[in-house]
Each structure stands twice: as C-alpha cells, then as structure tokens.
Structure 1
Amino acid sequence: MEFANEPIFQWMSQFAYQPGTVYAALIGMMMLSAVGFPLPEEVTLISVGILAFMGAHPQHFPPPFEGAPVVSVHTASAIAFTAVVLSDFVIYLIGRIFGRKLLYHPRVHKFFPEHLMKRVEEWTHKYGAYACGIFRFTPGLRFPGHLACGMLRYPAWKFLLIDGIAALISVPTQIYLLAHYGEPILTKLRQFKLVVFAIIGLLLVYFLIKKLRDRWKLQKASQ
C-alpha cells in the first residue's frame, strides 16, 4: 500500500487489533488537530478507515489470532465525528469567553500569519455564522476561525448545526469509504472533496447575494 509510508498510519497500524487504543488515539489526534497542532486530520481519518478495511478483510490481512478484535467502521466514524464537533465547540466557547484578547494574544498570534488573521476576520464578517462551515474545510484557518466565531458571539446552536453538517460531510464519509473500498478509493475521495468544495462555494455565493439583496431592500425601504 502506498499510504503505508505515512508516519501516522505506520504508528496506528501497530494497534490494528487493539481497537480501544485506536479509538483513544483517534480522539486525541482529532482534538490536537482542531487546536492547530500539525496532525493532518485527513491522514488520521484515512488511517483509521484503512485499519477498519483490514479488519473487515481477514483473508487479505490475517489477524494475529483467531477472533482478534478489529476496528469497527461504525464505532470509529461515530467517535471521530463526536470528537471533531466537540473539539470545534470547545474552541468556539474559548473564543466566546475570552474574546478578542485571546485571538490576538502573542502566543496564539505568532502561529498564524497576519494575512491568515485578516482572512478570518473578512470571512466571519462577510458570511456570519456560515463561515464556520468554511473553516471546517480549511485546516490552516480552523482554530482561529472557530475562535473568531465564538468571539463574535454567533448563536451556539447555529455554530453547532453548521459545523456539525460540515463535519458530517467530511469526517464519517472518509472512514466509511476507506473501510469499504480500501486505499484505491483515495483518488475518488479527492475528487469527491473537490465537488463538495464547489457546492459549498456556490452556497456561499448564494448567501452573499441574498444578504446584499436584503440590505439593498432595507436601504430602499428606509429612503
């Protein structure tokens, strides 16, 4: 397998038949990725999906002993989705409680270049709470973006709804596809992501046009 050279997969594959360890590592990696650590979320999800594929095909990947526990695709998907949404919401709450002073604290700010911070502010002001859906698909902006959503006090239910939908599209999907088709699906998965990004882009354009139209109507009515 070409993907077998990935360090994260190499480490996790040691525990292919210790599902509890894999689930615990999955939670930890998802949380660390959410707060900006250099642990690619996609690589972790793909690794878990391939481990589930291996467990479902013992004829190709013989277990160390008969009846060895394997990674369950359903359990892994549920754990990954829950860990991602809860991690994002914790970041949102931190931003809501501590506000702008945390977002621009020297220890936080030094990890995010000025142009990234500027983009975060532009998107949050332009798209409102819908920006959190963009940040979910933009690893470099996810942490400061979710902080900004909390800082601007967008309704918690709206943040959870939009972030949850975005996570539902991207997180369990990858694990299920890899668990069913194995590594060959990676090319199709990347094509699927391009389609998702295109759909999200069109939705954002729609909401922006709708927002501008409503503002124009309001201005016209006040004249």
Structure 2
Amino acid sequence: MFPPPFLIHLIDGAIGSSVLLSLAIILGTFVLEDPTVVIVGVLASDGVISLPLAIVSLYTGVILGDIVFYYIGWLASTHPKLHQYVDHDYVATFRAWLESRYVLTIFSARFIPGSRFPTYAASGFLRSPFSTFVLTAIVATSIWTTVLFFISYWFGSVTGEWFAKERWIIAIVFILVLFLVARYNLLRLRKVKQKGTDILGA
C-alpha cells in the first residue's frame, strides 16, 4: 500500500512541531528513503510541510544514512573473522578497481537504485577515504534528492485537485519502477561478483 501507512502516521503525528516533524522525516529516510522523499515532496506542495524544513530534513536524513552504510562496512571490517579480508589478495582486484574510480563509483551509486548500500558498505569495509566519501555523497545527494523532491513537488502541485487514491496510484507506479530498477541492478551485481569469484577460483 502506498503511501506506506507507518510513514504517513509518523509524519502526521509530528505535524505542529518543527523539531518532531524534522526528526520524523529523517527517520523516514532511514527506513524508506525514496518513498519518503516522494511523500514529503507531495505534502510540501500541499502546504503541510514548509519547503525549507522539508529539504533540510531530507538532506540531513539521506546523508546520515549514507554515513551509516559506510560505517556498517567499517564495523564489519573490525570483526576478527572478516578483518583478514581487508587487505587480502581475494579483494585486491576489487580494491584496485574501486580506488582507480572511487569518486565516480560513489557518485554514480546514488543514481542507481539498489547499488548504494553494497557500494558504500564496501567503501567502509576497505577503509576508503572517509572525507572523500562524505563530500562525494553530499554532492550526489544534492542532485538526486533535489530532483526527486521537486518532481514530487511538481506532481503534488498539478494533482492537488485529484482524489487522493488517484494521485497515490501514480506515485506507487513511480516507486515500483524504482524498485524494479533496483532489483535488476542487484541481479547484475551478483552476476559480476560471481564471475569475479570464478576467475579467482580458477
């Protein structure tokens, strides 16, 4: 069901308090990032959420989420059984590939649904430069989140007179397309990893 009921209840319960509303939006991006951006964009067009509060809260939540992904990988690398792989020959090829195009990889992962978590977590696991990661993630977020938000804002503006059911049906189709793209990219990523494993094992 779209919009997700828990997101609507979360935001609706916080309306009236800018602090609570901002925290609700940030929390929403942690759970379902793109749907939260779409919902907040539509609600901002309806005047339910102020434009500055919506944008700042979304940026904060998305960037914090990216940092969490990085540190999930970093924490994984501190595990005794996994730490040996940080500088292992097994990941040498991937490490060299990532280091040679680090900024481009981090930047492009933001625009490819489904690739952000594995890419950012891998960056943390391999102890890639954190400052470069954050700066690149901020630039990518400023583009992707802004575009998605204002598309949703525009959509909310032109469908303001529609019945709620009709406008959210179109929104769910849009989110479904993002989901299918994410699934396709994850399947491609698994195939690439499998080929790499086969080559190393040969």
TM range (shorter): 0.5 to 0.7
Deviation at 1:89, TM superposition (A): 1.3
Seen in structure 2, the aligned counterparts of structure 1 residues 10 and 28 have a Cα distance that, compared at 3 Å, is closer
Question: Distance in 2 between the 1:126 and 1:71 partners?
Answer: 42
Normalised by the length of structure 1, the TM-score is 0.53
Give the whole-Å Cα distance in 2 for the aligned partners of 1:6 and 1:172: 21
Letter aligned with residue 40 of structure 2: V
Residues 75-105 of structure 1: per-residue CA shift (max 9 Å, x gap): 1111111111122112213323432859x7x
User: How far 1:134 moved relative to its partner?
Assistant: 2.2
Number of corresponding residues:
149
**Contact 1:52/1:73 (CA < 8 Å) preserved in 2?**
yes
Residue in 1 that maps onto 2:3: 7
The residue identity in structure 1 corresponding to 2:44 is A
Once residues 77 and 150 of structure 2 are traced to their aligned partners in structure 1, the CA distance between those partners, rounded to angstroms, is 37
Residues in 2 aligned to 1:46 and 1:77: alpha-carbon distance in whole angstroms = 12
The alpha-carbon deviation at position 174 of structure 1 amounts to 2.7
Bigger RCO (CA 8 Å, 6+ sep) = 2
Identical-pair percentage: 27
Unaligned runs of 5+ residues in structure 1 are 33-38, 56-69, 105-119, 191-223
Contact kept? 1:135, 1:145, Cα under 8 Å: yes
Q: Aligned in 2, Cα 1:100/1:167: closer, same or farther, shift over 3 Å?
A: same
User: 1:77 aligned to 2:77?
Assistant: no
Aligned pairs for 1:1-223 (under 5 A) are 6-8=2-4, 12=8, 15=12, 18=15, 20=17, 22-32=21-31, 39=32, 41-55=33-47, 70-99=48-77, 124=98, 127-180=101-154, 182=156, 184=158
C-alpha deviation, 1:142, in angstroms = 1.6
Q: Which has the larger radius of gyration?
A: 1
Give ranges in structure 2 of 5+ residues lacking alignment. 83-93, 160-169, 175-202
SS at match of 2:8: helix
Instruction: Work out whether residues 98 and 151 of structure 1, in 8 Å CA contact, stay in contact via their aligned partners in 2.
Output: yes
Which amino acid is 1:6 matched to? Answer: F
Instruction: Give distance in 2, aligned partners of 1:181 and 1:16.
Output: 24
Q: Whole-Å Cα distance in 2 between the matches of residues 6 and 98 of structure 1?
A: 34
User: The residue matched to 2:152 in structure 1 has which SS?
Assistant: helix
1:42 is displaced (CA, Å) by 2.2
**TM-score (norm. length: structure 2):** 0.58
For 1:7, give the aligned amino acid.
P
- The answer on whether the counterparts of 1:92 and 1:149 sit within 8 Å (CA) in structure 2 is yes
